[in-house]
Chains A and B, each alone.
Chain A
Amino acid sequence: MKRCLAAVSLAAVAATAALAQEGDDTPASVEARHGIMENFSFNLSTLGAMAKGEVAYDAAMAQAAADRLVILSDLNQDGYWPEGTSSDEVEASRALPAIWENMDDFRSAFGDLHEAALTMQGVAGDGQEAIGAEMRALGQSCGGCHDDYRMSDD
């Protein structure tokens, strides 16, 4: 019994570590950034599942998700990206040092994401096909940063 509990708690620790790779010494700004990204992913999953037809289209849920993506992509980024929080300096961070060398370009990519979110907000109430068509631009706008500014995950 004891051994089993120990194994389970070890597994839980390992799972948590694998999930976020965050530790006690992870800067709060890095954790906050990850939180924002998780929220992007969560709201994209709501829209994406409807677009794919995995769940029934629900206008209110789609609108709520799109509205939140608009807010998330409009967050003032001041303070989220302090020096010393790149993937070279923080174990849990996948933010490449290139961000700090190209901060203007990096931040302008958030603007592109915001534009795509606004478009989705405008069509989210129009049915499965409408959001399906807009998922391309919205999903691809994530690549505006993830091409040059995010470390590979393995």
Chain B
Amino acid sequence: MRGLLLSLAVLAAAGCGAAWWLTRPQPIEAAAIRGMTGDAARGGDLFTVAGCASCHVAPDAEEGEGDPVLAGGQAFETQFGTFHAPNISSGPAGIGEWSDAELVSAMARGVAAGGAHLYPALPYTSYENADLQDLVDIAAHLRTLPGSDAASRPNELSFPYNIRRGLGAWKRIYAGRGWVLQDPADPGIARGRYLVEALAHCGQCHTPRTALGGMDRDRWLQGAENPDGDGRIPGIAPGQLDWSDGDIAAYLTTGLTPDYDSAGGNMVSVIENLSTLPDADIEAIVAYLRAIPAADGG
């Protein structure tokens, strides 16, 4: 009996140890970006396409021409609780003391400085496909932006979602999945894939989520509930979006639909960001949207 209890205890310890090992945060090692120098100007363009300011600027900040103050504070209400975008400004209350590797780890692995898992409200399941050099450039740009002393608001999550370690298990399922579109047929589609799947993280809103809040990649860009609770985010997979190539390109730069209605909600700032891209990139996004799997019945 004693032997049985002992072996059970050993097994339990081994099981817990394995779980602990499997759910460990896995940052980007400093060696992976050694030799890379951040180009802040280039990073500024990437920062715009990645839409960082859309979430990290304080909700009551005046829209202006100056550099954005990434003080955080915007709230995202979800079925798991409320997430608050943190201060990622250049001051000590933000990311001022983070190394490049720590910043890149946050963006690409969802791991904070100090090693804690970050919640996927930060779209690292998209940014993880970005080139490390691009993320190093974005990090360099962040350091050029103003600082803010505002304290980051803690998330308000219900049990068990408030246990960060659980994100290690979540990431086993939903992170590190690579590209959705395998083997793009030409460089234009590959470029579009990079913009849509990685930097601009379109899938985070346009792809439906599973019960555990991960992107359902089998229904890629096929439309989803609006995380804001206002209506639905439309499906944009082949068979759903019946606009011409020119109509899509015009929408992404002017915000005007083929019926000359205008984009609304969060898509307004997305278009503001995407319209900074060169025409060839807009065409690449269109080409990519034509190349992904069609929606059922489409």
Knowing A48-B254, A135-B254, the reply to whether A146 touches B263 (Cβ < 8 A) is yes
Inter-chain contacts of B254 with A (CB < 8 A): 48, 135-136, 138-140
Knowing A135-B254, A153-B231, the reply to whether A143 touches B262 (Cβ < 8 A) is yes
**Are B260 and A48 in contact (CB-based, < 8 A)?**
yes
- Of B7-15, B140-148, B178-186, B266-274, the segment with at least 4 beta carbons within 8 Å of chain A is B266-274
Interface string of A20-60 (1 = CB under 8 A from B): 00000000000000000000111011001001111000000
- Chain B interface, number of residues (Cβ within 8 angstroms): 24
**Is B152's CB within 8 Å of the partner chain A?**
no
**Are B250 and A41 in contact (CB-based, < 8 A)?**
no
**Are B259 and A152 in contact (CB-based, < 8 A)?**
no
**Is A68's CB within 8 Å of the partner chain B?**
no
**Are A143 and B231 in contact (CB-based, < 8 A)?**
no
**Are A151 and B260 in contact (CB-based, < 8 A)?**
no
Most A C-beta atoms less than 10 A away, residue of B230, B254, B272 = B254
Knowing A136-B275, A147-B268, A147-B269, the reply to whether A48 touches B230 (Cβ < 8 A) is no
Within B235-278, the residues touching A (CB, 8 Å) are 246-247, 250, 253-256, 259-266, 268-269, 271-272, 275
Inter-chain contacts of A142 with B (CB < 8 A): 255-256, 262-263
**Are B226 and A152 in contact (CB-based, < 8 A)?**
yes
**Are B231 and A150 in contact (CB-based, < 8 A)?**
no
**Is B232's CB within 8 Å of the partner chain A?**
yes
Inter-chain contacts of A136 with B (CB < 8 A): 253-254, 275
Give, as a whole number of angstroms, the nearest-CB distance from B48 to chain A: 14
**Are B268 and A152 in contact (CB-based, < 8 A)?**
no
Interface residues on chain A, size class? 20 to 34
Inter-chain contacts of A48 with B (CB < 8 A): 250, 254, 256, 260
Within A97-154, the residues touching B (CB, 8 Å) are 135-136, 138-140, 142-143, 146-147, 150-154
Give, as a whole number of angstroms, the nearest-CB distance from B205 to chain A: 12
Inter-chain contacts of A152 with B (CB < 8 A): 226, 230-232, 264-265
Q: Complex: how many Å from CA A152 to CA B256?
A: 15
Give, as a whole number of angstroms, the nearest-CB distance from B58 to chain A: 15
Inter-chain contacts of A140 with B (CB < 8 A): 254-255, 268, 271-272, 275
Most A C-beta atoms less than 10 A away, residue of B232, B247, B268 = B268
Contact of A147 among B246, B260, B266 (CB under 8 A): B266
**Are B230 and A151 in contact (CB-based, < 8 A)?**
yes
Inter-chain contacts of B262 with A (CB < 8 A): 139, 142-143, 146
Knowing A48-B250, A140-B271, A140-B272, the reply to whether A41 touches B261 (Cβ < 8 A) is yes
**Are B260 and A154 in contact (CB-based, < 8 A)?**
no
Within B79-119, the residues touching A (CB, 8 Å) are none
Q: Which residue of A lies closest to B272 (CB)?
A: A140
Give, as a whole number of angstroms, the nearest-CB distance from B7 to chain A: 58
Give, as a whole number of angstroms, the nearest-CB distance from B283 to chain A: 14
Inter-chain contacts of A154 with B (CB < 8 A): 231-232
Q: Which residue of A lies closest to B234 (CB)?
A: A154
**Are B256 and A151 in contact (CB-based, < 8 A)?**
no
Knowing A135-B250, A140-B275, the reply to whether A150 touches B264 (Cβ < 8 A) is yes
Please list the residues of chain A having a beta carbon within 8 angstroms of any beta carbon in chain B: 40-42, 44-45, 48, 51-54, 135-136, 138-140, 142-143, 146-147, 150-154
> Which 10 pairs from chain A and chain B are nearest by CB?
A152-B231, A139-B254, A143-B268, A142-B262, A147-B268, A146-B264, A45-B260, A139-B256, A41-B260, A152-B230
Please list the residues of chain B having a beta carbon within 8 angstroms of any beta carbon in chain A: 226, 230-232, 246-247, 250, 253-256, 259-266, 268-269, 271-272, 275
Known A135-B256, A151-B230; further 8 A-B contacts with Cβ < 8 A: A41-B260, A52-B250, A135-B253, A139-B262, A146-B265, A147-B268, A153-B261, A153-B264
